[in-house]
C-alpha cells in the first residue's frame, strides 16, 4: 500500500512540472518592458520567445545585452541591435532550465554602461 501511495504522490509531483504548458510573463523597469512566453517541453527543457522594448529617454541605445535567469539558476545570454525601440526574440531554448506555474524569471539588461533587472511574473489567469 505504501508503494502505491508513493507512486501516486510521485506522479502528482511530476505532473505539476507543467510539461506541454505555455506561460506568459511580463515586467518592466524604468527603461525597459519585457513580454516573455515560455513553453515547457519537459521537466528540464523549455523554449522562450517574446519582446524587449526600450521605454527610456532618447537616444535609443544601438545595442544591448540581456540575460534570462530562471529559478534553478539556468540562464541564457544574448546580444541584440536595437533598430527601433523594440526587439523580438524567438526560440530561446534552455535544456537545463525548469519553470513551473507562478515562477518568476529575472531578465538582466545591460546597455551603454547601465544595467537593470526586471522581474517577470506570469499573467495567466
Enclosing domain of residue 59: 2-122
The domain spanning residue 11 has which CATH number? 2.60.40
Which pLDDT does position 111 carry in this prediction?
A: 94
Query: pTM of this prediction?
Result: 0.75
In the prediction, which pLDDT does 45 show? 75
Question: Which three three-digit cell numbers place residue 48?
Answer: 522562450
| 45-73 tens-digit pLDDT | 788 888 999 999 999 998 898 888 887 66
Mean pLDDT of the chain: 78
pLDDT at 6: 40
- Distance of alpha carbon 25 from alpha carbon 6, whole angstroms: 33
Q: How far is CA 76 from CA 49, 53, 90, 91, 110, in A?
A: 12, 18, 13, 12, 14
Amino acid at each position: 500500500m505504501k508503494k502505491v501511495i508513493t507512486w501516486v504522490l510521485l506522479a502528482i509531483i511530476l505532473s505539476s512540472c507543467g510539461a506541454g504548458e505555455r506561460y506568459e510573463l511580463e515586467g518592466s523597469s524604468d527603461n525597459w518592458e519585457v513580454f516573455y512566453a515560455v513553453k515547457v517541453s519537459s521537466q528540464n527543457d523549455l523554449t522562450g520567445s517574446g519582446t524587449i522594448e526600450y521605454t527610456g529617454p532618447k537616444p535609443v541605445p544601438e545595442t544591448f545585452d540581456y540575460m534570462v535567469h530562471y529559478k534553478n539558476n539556468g540562464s541564457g545570454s544574448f546580444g541584440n541591435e536595437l533598430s527601433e525601440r523594440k526587439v523580438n526574440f524567438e526560440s530561446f531554448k534552455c535544456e537545463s532550465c525548469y519553470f513551473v506555474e507562478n515562477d518568476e524569471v529575472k531578465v538582466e539588461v545591460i546597455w551603454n554602461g547601465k544595467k537593470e533587472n526586471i522581474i517577470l511574473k506570469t499573467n495567466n489567469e
